[in-house]
A and B are shown apart, each in its own frame.
Chain A
């Protein structure tokens, strides 16, 4: 994946670049808004990681200008400002996701992978039936089966599984689940999401020898066919 990091703090940028390269991505850097804008317009990136506060051209204006120029590369905003209205501003300016500093690298990684995948697969990903191993989820009939056996899921469990299966093979973090399944962006003080996931796991994996819903230590969860 080709990623552009627009961040004026060189230490932070170097850290992100190094970590993303270790994950096998190609990473370019820009240290101010104007350079970032020029690179983002010319280079064919899969994801842009843009800091909100940048010298010369701030992050919001950068993304707004890109969108005006019909550049639709997915953008993840990084910001020290994490309040509700700040995130709303970021998304309105044309950002696709918003992450508040300080963040866990696993969170950043999970989010940019989801963003990039959304772009590459596009609408094709919106199939009516998701399948992971012998687990099938039919979005129209709202039926979930595993090895032909119908599973009885609550509506919210269905949405949780639907979100995870749409991003099958990708790590989804707890906050991503809270945001996408419950539409809340706050930081739950307790392990509410974990309990939901373990309940879901009890329904889809219990009694089957190959667990599909796996915990990724220190990051979140992933649903995948264990054989892969």
Chain B
């Protein structure tokens, strides 16, 4: 595409041309109206002048006879820009006037002739002029002709025509030039944006679209696109971080798996030892599989929309059944596990996922309930699960312990995958429990709140109020 072609194809240029065309049509209309109106006025003026002259001459004829009319005509023809006059006898012999020749058909019958060819006496060349004439038959066979040359009417037409042509030329020139200028300005900016976009696509991910600083619509568009690019960039770096972490964190158990198998090959002496090594290998790979399942579930929950699998469930029942599930484990660990929930508590969501999120929180709480904060006395080994409805329609299920808790600075971070705080690394787990609970709550349109329980951790699953009209 040539540069000119590109310019001509721009919206700005086409718009300018379209405007020029519209203005041309409008000005043609206005000029046409002016011309028509002007012509009408001029014609009316002519008619009135002729009327006045005719009346004057007829009066003179009536009072003083033909001689006086002839004298008067001769006098009037000498004035510059005079009307046309002709006085003839009944045979057509000219007595006075400035008209050399008039068609006999006109001369022979009285009346108005709007456009009559004639020749002038004061015109040396025998040029035919045109005029508006009135012919009168006077008593005694005299004929009186009074008229006005049409030249002034035609010159008005000429003037209008010239004005129109001039306007057309000016509009075309300005339209084209203006169109080019505007189009080039816009095109230059679009080109620089396109160039930046291509550079970004080619890998210069930190580049942004240029802003002209004029805050016009193109700037606003570029601003929005830049904001979008920023967001995509954030997401991408987040994604990269996550996949890096995953790769790193999965390497550890894989290494353990591999070295266990290698060790067995190297040192095992009898089938019994091989068998044990294989069983350990299966155990380790089961753990890896459950890590993958958890990761997949987090990914699905994060990418998903609350939809088909959401229904009405009883949050109180979940609190009770999860506590009941973990109660023997708590007892074995020497931790008292309580539940405090009303008879039933309606919430909207997925019972399965909510149950799993709560199970993760309880599992965590049990793990840390007895862990003493450095140098402090052993905490009260107690975990309380409570479910309640808030006034605003939200439902909360919280798990409270009196363990070491999570420092405020780390509360955001522990929700990320594989993040394990100092002091928890020696405990079983992969650092996915809270991430999963968080992802599940986000899928529900709710949130996972981590708060200080003075001392300990208070982790709360907040379910949003059921949607109005939600299916039950």
In the assembly, what is the distance between CA of A100 and CA of B286, in Å?
13
Please name all residues of chain A whose beta carbon is closer than 8 Å to the beta carbon of B352 when the two chains form the complex.
84, 184-186
B-contacting residues, A162-209, CB 8 Å: 178, 182-192, 195-196, 199
- Knowing A184-B355, A187-B290, A189-B290 are in contact, say whether A84-B309 is a contact too (CB < 8 A): yes
Please name all residues of chain B whose beta carbon is closer than 8 Å to the beta carbon of A187 when the two chains form the complex.
290, 293-294
In the assembly, what is the distance between CA of A83 and CA of B297, in Å?
7
A82 at interface, CB cutoff 8 A: yes
- Is A189 a contact of B363 with CB atoms below 8 Å? yes
- Is A191 a contact of B329 with CB atoms below 8 Å? yes
- Knowing A184-B352, A186-B355, A190-B363 are in contact, say whether A218-B293 is a contact too (CB < 8 A): no
Interface string of A199-228 (1 = CB under 8 A from B): 100000000000000000010000000000
B30 at interface, CB cutoff 8 A: no
A64 to chain B, nearest CB (A): 17
- Knowing A184-B355, A185-B352, A218-B282 are in contact, say whether A85-B308 is a contact too (CB < 8 A): yes
A182 to chain B, nearest CB (A): 6
- Is A195 a contact of B359 with CB atoms below 8 Å? no
Give the residue name and chain of the B residue nearest to A89 (CB). B308
- Is B433 a contact of A189 with CB atoms below 8 Å? yes
Please name all residues of chain B whose beta carbon is closer than 8 Å to the beta carbon of A218 when the two chains form the complex.
279, 282
A143 at interface, CB cutoff 8 A: no
A156 at interface, CB cutoff 8 A: yes
In the complex, which of the residues B293, B321, B325, B363 has the most CB atoms of chain A within 10 Å of its own CB atom?
A: B325
A102 at interface, CB cutoff 8 A: yes
A38 at interface, CB cutoff 8 A: no
Give the residue name and chain of the B residue nearest to A193 (CB). B325
Give the residue name and chain of the A residue nearest to B286 (CB). A104
Q: Which of B279, B309, B329, B353 contacts A192 (CB 8 A)?
A: B329
A71 at interface, CB cutoff 8 A: no
Please name all residues of chain B whose beta carbon is closer than 8 Å to the beta carbon of A189 when the two chains form the complex.
290, 360, 363, 428-429, 433
- Is B300 a contact of A188 with CB atoms below 8 Å? no
- Is A199 a contact of B328 with CB atoms below 8 Å? yes
Interface string of B28-53 (1 = CB under 8 A from A): 00000000000000000000000000
- Is B309 a contact of A88 with CB atoms below 8 Å? yes
A-contacting residues, B299-322, CB 8 Å: 300, 308-309, 321
- Knowing A88-B309, A186-B352 are in contact, say whether A82-B293 is a contact too (CB < 8 A): yes
Please name all residues of chain B whose beta carbon is closer than 8 Å to the beta carbon of A156 when the two chains form the complex.
324
- Knowing A189-B363, A218-B279, A218-B282 are in contact, say whether A182-B321 is a contact too (CB < 8 A): yes
In the assembly, what is the distance between CA of A102 and CA of B359, in Å?
23
The interface residues of chain B, by DSSP majority, are classed as: helix
Please name all residues of chain A whose beta carbon is closer than 8 Å to the beta carbon of B325 when the two chains form the complex.
178, 182, 184, 188, 192, 196
- Is A100 a contact of B293 with CB atoms below 8 Å? yes
Please name all residues of chain A whose beta carbon is closer than 8 Å to the beta carbon of B329 when the two chains form the complex.
190-192, 195
In the assembly, what is the distance between CA of A155 and CA of B363, in Å?
22
Please name all residues of chain A whose beta carbon is closer than 8 Å to the beta carbon of B279 when the two chains form the complex.
218
Please name all residues of chain B whose beta carbon is closer than 8 Å to the beta carbon of A185 when the two chains form the complex.
352
In the assembly, what is the distance between CA of A84 and CA of B293, in Å?
12
B59 to chain A, nearest CB (A): 111
B326 at interface, CB cutoff 8 A: yes
B350 at interface, CB cutoff 8 A: yes
B246 at interface, CB cutoff 8 A: no
- Knowing A88-B309, A102-B289 are in contact, say whether A192-B350 is a contact too (CB < 8 A): no
- Is A82 a contact of B296 with CB atoms below 8 Å? yes
Please name all residues of chain B whose beta carbon is closer than 8 Å to the beta carbon of A184 when the two chains form the complex.
321, 325, 352, 355-356, 359
B-contacting residues, A80-135, CB 8 Å: 82-85, 88, 100, 102, 104
In the assembly, what is the distance between CA of A78 and CA of B286, in Å?
17
Please name all residues of chain A whose beta carbon is closer than 8 Å to the beta carbon of B359 when the two chains form the complex.
184, 186, 188
Give the residue name and chain of the B residue nearest to A100 (CB). B293
B408 to chain A, nearest CB (A): 26
B332 at interface, CB cutoff 8 A: yes
In the assembly, what is the distance between CA of A156 and CA of B286, in Å?
27
Please name all residues of chain B whose beta carbon is closer than 8 Å to the beta carbon of A196 when the two chains form the complex.
325, 328
- Knowing A186-B355, A199-B328 are in contact, say whether A83-B296 is a contact too (CB < 8 A): yes
In the assembly, what is the distance between CA of A190 and CA of B328, in Å?
12
In the assembly, what is the distance between CA of A191 and CA of B286, in Å?
13
Please name all residues of chain B whose beta carbon is closer than 8 Å to the beta carbon of A83 when the two chains form the complex.
296-297, 300
Interface string of B257-289 (1 = CB under 8 A from A): 000000000000000000000010010001001
In the assembly, what is the distance between CA of A135 and CA of B296, in Å?
43
In the complex, which of the residues B308, B352, B433 has the most CB atoms of chain A within 10 Å of its own CB atom?
A: B352
In the complex, which of the residues B282, B326, B428 has the most CB atoms of chain A within 10 Å of its own CB atom?
A: B326
29 residue pairs bridging A and B, Cβ less than 8 Å apart: A82-B293, A82-B296, A83-B296, A83-B300, A84-B309, A84-B352, A85-B308, A85-B309, A100-B293, A102-B289, A156-B324, A182-B321, A182-B325, A184-B352, A184-B355, A186-B359, A188-B325, A189-B290, A189-B363, A189-B428, A189-B429, A190-B329, A190-B428, A192-B325, A192-B326, A192-B329, A195-B328, A195-B332, A218-B279
- CB within 8 Å of A: which residues of B? 279, 282, 286, 289-290, 293-294, 296-297, 300, 308-309, 321, 324-326, 328-329, 332, 350, 352-353, 355-356, 359-360, 363, 428-429, 433
The 9 closest A-B pairs by CB, nearest first: A195-B328, A186-B356, A85-B309, A84-B352, A195-B329, A187-B290, A199-B328, A184-B355, A192-B329
Known contacts A83-B300, A84-B353, A192-B326; 18 additional CB pairs below 8 A are: A82-B296, A83-B296, A83-B297, A84-B309, A104-B282, A182-B321, A184-B355, A184-B356, A186-B352, A187-B293, A189-B363, A192-B325, A192-B328, A192-B329, A195-B328, A195-B329, A195-B332, A196-B328
- CB within 8 Å of B: which residues of A? 82-85, 88, 100, 102, 104, 156, 178, 182-192, 195-196, 199, 218
